[in-house]
């Protein structure tokens, strides 16, 4: 069943409102499970898959590539990243050109739809990085470029450098942003993205799984993310879960879908990124693609989570 598409920034990429994260593929989800999740996501109308050259040491890209070859899905937008694979010079021209070839080979495609700088590299001049990215676009290896983990100042500089050089600029940003982590994105960075019409795809959209509602006092959860998620289980976190429970009961969807729908309604956000190890987990996320929260519901979640922002 086809879902509505949203335009990613100034690009011509039309993507589903939920971006499927591939960080679990080849790590906590084996290939069979990963294929099942990808199949279910595509069948539900999803078309936006996010991976990276470092996820599971490249196995995530390989699994996505084998799925693309086996299923030949129409209209799927593939995003991957470069820039966390080495400690030094990660965004140098040499490293970018080497790594893009590896990603293309593992994915089994000729062109990457969206190629991210995974993390800012202050040791490499932006002129070198953006020129190298521009070469990939000119050569047809990449369609569009985006940044991840950039500050407002550095993102603005990257856009300015691209324009001065006359090379392709970032059309999107992938920041750390969710109901429990708002300070990094909200403010100058969100304002810049809105002003520059950048599409925003937040990662850790469910706060390491905390916003699924499975982490509660007295409940033991076996997960590699448990320690990170449990740090949110304080009075503010409990208030956020309570609000999610209330809205999800009224809407007859899982708390995770409500949390993602809230995020999708924020400034410049195009598609939150969330991953699933199983089809069952994915089924809790899918409803967000059509879920529009009322203003009162958006405000309720904003208010309870604001206690963490102001703390």
What pLDDT, in 10s, does the model give residues 77-90? 999 999 998 778 99
The pLDDT value recorded for residue 1 is: 38
The pLDDT value recorded for residue 31 is: 98
The pLDDT value recorded for residue 309 is: 65
The pLDDT value recorded for residue 255 is: 98
Residue 307, Cβ density class (10 Å: 0-12 exposed, 13-18 middle, ≥19 buried): middle
DSSP H or E run through 71: helix 59-71
Alpha helices, DSSP H, located in 76-148: 93-107, 126-138
What would the two tokens of residue 109 be?
A: 């495609």
Residue-level length of the chain: 311
- Angle (nearest 5°) at CA 293 between 245 and 34: 70
* Residues recognised as catalytic: 55
Q: Averaged over 246-252, what is the pLDDT?
A: 98
Residues 21-72 have pLDDT tens digits of 999 999 999 999 999 999 999 999 999 999 999 999 999 999 999 999 999 9
**Backbone phi, psi, residue 178, to 5°:** -165, 180
Confidence of residue 215 (pLDDT cuts 50, 70, 90): confident
Domains of the chain: 6-209+255-291 (3.20.20.100)
Q: Say which range, 103-107, 219-223, 277-281, has the weakest mean pLDDT.
A: 219-223
What would the two tokens of residue 214 be?
A: 């499975």
Residues 148-191 have pLDDT tens digits of 999 999 999 999 999 999 999 999 999 999 999 999 999 999 99
The pLDDT value recorded for residue 2 is: 42
The pLDDT value recorded for residue 113 is: 98
**Mean pLDDT estimate for the chain:** 95
């Amino acid at each position: 069943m086809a879902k509505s598409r949203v335009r990613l920034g100034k690009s011509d990429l039309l993507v589903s409102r939920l971006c499927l994260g591939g960080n679990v593929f080849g790590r906590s989800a084996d290939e069979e499970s990963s294929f099942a999740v990808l199949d279910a996501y595509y069948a539900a109308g999803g078309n936006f898959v996010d991976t990276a050259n470092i996820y599971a040491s490249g196995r995530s890209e390989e699994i996505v590539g084998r799925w693309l070859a086996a299923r030949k899905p129409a209209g799927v937008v593939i995003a991957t990243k470069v820039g966390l694979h080495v400690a030094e010079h990660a965004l140098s021209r040499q490293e970018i050109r080497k790594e893009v070839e590896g990603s293309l080979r593992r994915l089994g495609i000729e062109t990457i739809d969206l190629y991210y700088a995974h993390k800012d590299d202050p040791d490499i001049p932006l002129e070198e990085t953006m020129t190298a990215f521009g070469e990939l676009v000119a050569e047809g290896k990449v369609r569009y470029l985006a940044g991840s983990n950039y500050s407002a100042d550095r993102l603005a500089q990257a856009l300015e450098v691209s324009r001065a050089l006359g090379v392709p600029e970032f059309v999107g940003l992938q920041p750390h942003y969710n109901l429990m982590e708002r300070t990094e994105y909200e403010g100058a960075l969100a304002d810049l993205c809105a002003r520059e019409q950048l599409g925003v795809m937040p990662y850790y959209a469910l706060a390491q799984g905390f916003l699924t509602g499975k982490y509660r006092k007295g409940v033991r959860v076996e997960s590699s993310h448990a320690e990170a998620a449990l740090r949110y289980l304080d009075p503010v976190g409990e208030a956020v879960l309570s609000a999610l429970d209330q809205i999800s009961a009224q809407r007859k969807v899982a708390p995770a879908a409500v949390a993602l729908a809230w995020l999708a309604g924020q400034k410049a956000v195009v598609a939150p990124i969330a991953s699933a190890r199983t089809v069952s987990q994915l089924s809790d996320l899918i409803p967000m693609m059509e879920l529009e929260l009322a203003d009162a519901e958006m405000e309720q979640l904003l208010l309870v989570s604001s206690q963490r922002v102001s703390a």
